[in-house]
Amino acid sequence: MINPELQAQARTQERVQRSVRGPGLPLLRTLYFFLALYLPGPAVQAGEAGVAALSQAEQIRLGERFYREGILPSGKPVQAVVKGDLAVGGRMFPCANCHRRSGLGSVEGGIITPANTGSKLFQPSYFGRELTPAERGALPEYYRTPARRPAYSEQTLAKAIRSGVDATGRVLDSAMPRYRLSDGEMAMLISYLQVLSAEPSPGVSETTLRFATVVTPEVPPRDRTAMLATLEALVADWNRQAPAHAERAKYPEFAQEADLSFRSISLARWVLEGPPASWRGQLEAYYRKEPVFALLGGISAADWKPIHDFSEEQRIPCLFPLTDFPVVSGSDWYTLYLSKGLYQEGEAAAGSLSRAREVTAQDTVVQVYRDTPQGRALAAGFEATWRSLGRKPPLSRILSAAGPIPADLIRQLSGKEMPPVLLLWLGNEAGSILERISEGEVRPKEVYLSASLLGSALGTLPEPVREFTSFTYPYRLSQDETMHPDYAKVWLRDRNLPVDERRISSRMYSLMLLLNQAIPKMKRNFYRDNLLDQVDLATLHGYPDFELLSFGPGERYASKACQVVTLSRGPNPILIKKSD
Amino acid sequence: MKIALALLLVFLCSPALYAGGEPAPAPREAVSPRPAEGQPGTSGNGVFALELASGGRELRIGPNTLDMVLRDRAGKGVEGARLSVTPWMPSMGHGVWEKPLVQERGGGNYHVENVIIIMGGLWELKVAARKGASEDRGVFSFTVAEPVLPEPEPPREGYQRSLAAYQIPNVSLINQDGKAVQLSTLVDSGKPVIVDFIFTTCTTVCPILSAGFTNLRRELGEHPEQVQLISISIDPENDRPEQLKRYRERFQGGAGWEFLTGSRDDVGLVLKSFDAFVVDKMSHEPLYLLRAPNGAQWVRIKGLIKKSDLLSEYRKLAN
């Protein structure tokens, strides 16, 4: 199934190609075309002859696969040499690793990787700021910076990729691999580079970057207001910078990248209605009416999957949506979540239990949860991690979504049938079970609950219960907050925004910190993939709420761990990190 | 073994203390406030006596471990006390981020780990001991030597080579199969060892370092496991065993090449011991640490190197 975007790219590529094609290759191509008529071969996995005979769209698709994964049309990994004599195979050094998915390059470990998109390769590259040819021409002579290299042609580019000699005849750094590509494979790659980040993404104009935020119908009005109000305050702050940047941009000799690239932000509200199955259609209708560059925040108390799938398939970034049910995937690209939500609490329980000294490999683990999205997420996170640690799969006791706790369960949990490890993924109704356990004679070795599900009931658990219970808690503990100045609270208070215990406004504050770093680093390369590439390079100063946030290439769940805590004694208990 | 030695030395030295015999080598005593005359070894309120066992004579920059003995006025070891140790630098008015960890060893012996000293100068270890209602404090002073930079060899073809000695901390890390691995056991296996520092989402530096290992193993032919390769993650929160396993497959890893991760604290301790700690993983530098079987010194290679250079460095180790 060909993506309409790729078809548009194919048309662009034809246009660009006509301006840069040199002699030589077309003749070879014609020969290959005739050969292809006589040689067999599947259309997708193609041998040399097959590559040249493929449609532009198919070449671009294979070129993208090569660029991102290092796999040739034949299905084999490409061979390359790096550092002069280190032989490497395709999966180790796909182009996208260093040049990034957007093709805009990166800086890491002291190695600078320049851009390798066709639109940049086939133009000269200058030192200093990225200016359009018109801007550069308008600069007084004194302010013009020299060119680093002239434009590549298809031949000189092929030479650079195969032998590491650039358009000036200099040798490229040995960190750039020298790839062994046939003519057909090289042409396929160059076809792809010519469409890679060739046109700015939708939702960008000379003055404005258009974003949208998604709100689903079941979210309580108070939560919806908290998110929207904070997002709009963030947008207002950002837009207040516009006059200063515009003023400096009037002087092209002195204007910085940040001035030239500054765009105001507009934020549309995409309010969804009805059942989740209808959301995808509504999202597409909103998008058709007014395309956006990316989605910011968003909030849902139900499934986020329809929106995640929309982002993934339309390749639209979505940054820090507020949901307890992120889609947990090892390979999806376009949605960046603050954490894996309740799934992550299940993961943390498994990690903590695996380190508990009295819990042996033979001990049975029983998970009790209701058949609701919350229960399922916690149980799934626990089970996946528990199994990956090589442990016996846990037993599950699934209760219906509503209704009282069955009597037989309560019986089981207070007698000899008590399991050694009990996970109670329940809300405040867990309190009655816990009291029965504390009154009984048999105690489990470990009992875990989720602080998120318990909510305010956590602080009121009776003292005898606190002796044997542990809780998964996704945030930084309040006693650790003293080490981290609370800039978020100050910022919110100054704008009369509530600091809510659901942490909605503070998580949108984190989004603001992220945008402040990532958007300026795009410069004027307004490509959606570039936004995500710059997000990956963000640093972590001053983020509230989470203990262990980090970003990195391809990392899509910023919070890397969740705490396991116990409850202290006394009328105003605090949470204490559980020691291993 | 160390505890026995410490106990033995304490036992040997205490007659010297109490009987007024030869003071050297005497265990360090808590000094502030000044101990009362004729009552050597008491501290603070005089409720407890704190001593450092001989293993704790010096503090160096980086991670340190100490053994302390807590005794009551009768000279009997105090068990079950809660000890807290706080490093403090009086001239600079600051402490350190990391909290020392105290483990009770019985008989009044307490083992203190994770005492991270960040610079040279005069340092104090403030110790508070509490058992039941009894509470006491003491202070030990140390002069920490300024760091001595290793002599670098002249750079050869774009990489820096120097020699260094590292103390491997006593931690257990987790390998790509999820198994616990004692780092010191891996390093002291009797094989030549090469260590590098990677993270699985690294785009530029780590693939080159790892490709170096891939090529080295290929050169060793039938028995690539004759060299112990260790890749330690500098992003332990993200690099769980499954991620390490996938990365290892990408680089055709197998027996003899271990990828290690663990808790942030444990991995941080290891990185600091190897002088490879960075705050932001994106600014890490390419590093190979090589050591001959059971050797004392490590060869520290900073920079990305060619296969032929790695091979020649390896051959020097193996001989």
Q: What's the pLDDT at B44?
A: 65
Q: What's the pLDDT at B20?
A: 39
Q: Which residues of B touch A113 (CB under 8 A)?
A: 203-204
Would you say the ipTM is above 0.90?
no
Strand partners of residue A571? none
**What CA–CA distance (Å, rounded) separates B5 from B115?**
21
pLDDT in tens, A163-204: 999 999 999 988 899 999 999 999 999 999 999 999 999 999
Mean pLDDT to the nearest integer, B227-251: 92
Q: What's the pLDDT at B34?
A: 36
| CA of B36 vs chain A CAs: smallest distance (Å) | 39
Q: Which residues of A touch B207 (CB under 8 A)?
A: 88, 92-93, 97
Number of neighbouring beta carbons within 10 Å of residue B223: 10
pLDDT mean across residues, chain B: 82
The contacts of residue A236 (CB under 8 Å, 6+ apart) are: none
Domain boundaries in chain B? Answer: 2-144, 152-318
Asked whether the domain spanning A360-469 has the same topology as the one spanning A208-341+482-549, the reply is yes
Q: Which residues of B touch A97 (CB under 8 A)?
A: 203-204, 207
**What CA–CA distance (Å, rounded) separates B239 from A250?**
47
Interface touch A92/B207, C-beta < 8 Å? yes
Confidence bin at A16 (pLDDT 50/70/90): very low
Strand partners of residue B123? B142
Task: Give the dihedral of Cα atoms B42, B44, B49, B50; nearest 10 deg.
Answer: -120
Spell out a b/e string for A539-570, using b for 16 or more CB atoms within 10 Å of the CB, else e. Answer: ebeebbbbbbbbbbbbbbbbbbbbbbbbbeee
Interface touch B304/A84, C-beta < 8 Å? no
Instruction: Please state the CATH superfamily assignment of the domain spanning residues B152-318 in this structure.
Output: Glutaredoxin (3.40.30.10)
**What CA–CA distance (Å, rounded) separates A264 from A241?**
8
Interface touch B202/A554, C-beta < 8 Å? no
Residue B304 in contact with partner chain A when CB distance is under 8 A? yes
Of the residues B206, B208, B301, B314, the best mutation for testing chain A's interface (the one with the most A CB atoms within 10 Å of its CB) is: B208
Can you give the length of chain A in residues?
580
| CA of A538 vs chain B CAs: smallest distance (Å) | 10
Confidence bin at A357 (pLDDT 50/70/90): confident
Question: Between B86 and B33, where is the model more confident?
Answer: B86
CATH class for the region spanning A208-341+482-549: alpha beta
| CA of B179 vs chain A CAs: smallest distance (Å) | 9
Q: What's the pLDDT at B157?
A: 52
pLDDT mean across residues, chain A: 88
**What CA–CA distance (Å, rounded) separates A4 from B215?**
42
Distance from chain centroid for Cα B265? 12
- Chain A: residue nearest B284 by CA? A109
Residue A389 in contact with partner chain B when CB distance is under 8 A? yes
Chain B window 159-198: which residues touch A at a Cβ cutoff of 8 Å? Answer: 178
Number of A–B residue contacts, CB under 8 Å = 99
Residue A106 in contact with partner chain B when CB distance is under 8 A? yes
Q: What's the pLDDT at A310?
A: 97
pLDDT in tens, A106-119: 888 778 899 999 99
| CA of B233 vs chain A CAs: smallest distance (Å) | 13
Give percent of chain A above pLDDT 70. Answer: 91
Mean pLDDT to the nearest integer, A48-64: 85
The model's pTM: 0.77
Interface touch A100/B286, C-beta < 8 Å? no
Q: How far is CA A212 from CA A194, A320, A339, in A?
A: 29, 13, 21
Asked whether the domain spanning B152-318 has the same topology as the one spanning B2-144, the reply is no
Q: What's the pLDDT at B119?
A: 86
- Chain B: residue nearest A111 by CA? B204
Of A97, A109, A560, the CB nearest to B237: A560
- Chain A: residue nearest B179 by CA? A389
Least confident range of A201-210, A318-327, B176-185: B176-185
| CA of B178 vs chain A CAs: smallest distance (Å) | 6
Least confident range of A319-323, A352-356, B44-48: B44-48
CATH class for the region spanning B2-144: mainly beta
Asked whether residue A473 carries a pLDDT value surpassing 90, the answer given is yes
Q: What's the pLDDT at B153?
A: 53
Domain boundaries in chain A? Answer: 4-195, 208-341+482-549, 360-469
Instruction: Please state the CATH superfamily assignment of the domain spanning residues A360-469 in this structure.
Output: Response regulator (3.40.50.2300)
Interface touch B211/A560, C-beta < 8 Å? no
Mean pLDDT to the nearest integer, A379-395: 92
Least confident range of A3-12, A210-219, A396-405: A3-12
Interface touch B282/A109, C-beta < 8 Å? yes
- Chain B: residue nearest A95 by CA? B203
Confidence bin at B31 (pLDDT 50/70/90): very low
Q: What's the pLDDT at B209?
A: 94
Asked whether residue A538 carries a pLDDT value surpassing 50, the answer given is yes
Q: Which residues of A touch B203 (CB under 8 A)?
A: 97-98, 100, 106, 108, 113, 553
Residue B280 in contact with partner chain A when CB distance is under 8 A? yes
Residue B214 in contact with partner chain A when CB distance is under 8 A? yes
Least confident range of A281-290, A356-365, B102-111, B148-157: B148-157
pLDDT in tens, B137-167: 888 888 888 777 766 655 445 678 899 999 8
Q: What's the pLDDT at A143?
A: 86
Mean pLDDT to the nearest integer, B202-228: 92
| CA of A146 vs chain B CAs: smallest distance (Å) | 28
Mean pLDDT to the nearest integer, A247-271: 93
**What CA–CA distance (Å, rounded) separates A410 from A408?**
5
Spell out a b/e string for A455-472, using b for 16 or more CB atoms within 10 Å of the CB, else e. Answer: eebbeebeeebbebbbbb
pLDDT in tens, A71-85: 999 999 999 999 888
Q: What's the pLDDT at A10?
A: 54
Mean pLDDT to the nearest integer, B285-296: 90
Asked whether residue B55 carries a pLDDT value surpassing 60, the answer given is no
Mean pLDDT to the nearest integer, A463-488: 85
Of A109, A554, A561, the CB nearest to B205: A109
Question: Between A478 and A579, where is the model more confident?
Answer: A478
